Chains A and B, each alone.
Chain A
Amino acid sequence: MKRLRPFILIIVALAAWEIAARSGLWSPILFPSLTRIAYQFWLFVSQPDGFTQTWTTLYRAFGGFALAAVVGIALGMVMGRSALVAEMLDPLFSGTYAVPKLALFPIFIFVFGLGSLSKIALVFLECLYPMAIITYHGARSVQPVLLWSAQNMGASRARTLARVVFPATLPYIFAALRVALPVALIVAIITEMISSVDGLGYLVTYSLSSLKTDRMLALVVVISLLGLALDHALVALRNRLVYWEKLDTFYV
Chain B
Amino acid sequence: MGDTTTRSTLAATLPSSVPVALVLASASVRSFSSSLRMNVLRTLGASVLVWSEALAVIFLLTAFDGIAGWSTAEVLLLLGIADAGLGLGMLLGEPLEPPTFSQLLRDGRFDQVLTRPMSPLLWVIVNDVQIRNVGRVLAGLAIATGGAGAAGVSLTPAAVALVLGAITAMATIVVAILAIGAAITMWTIEGTEVLNAFTYGGATLSGWPLQIYSSALRAVFLWVVPVGAAVYLPTLRLLDREGIGIANQDLLPALPLLVAAFCALAVVAWKAGLRHHTGAGG
Same complex for A and B? Answer: no
Q: Which residues of B contact A (CB under 8 A)?
A: none
Please give the residue numbers on chain A whose beta carbons come within 8 Å of chain B beta carbons, in ascending order: none
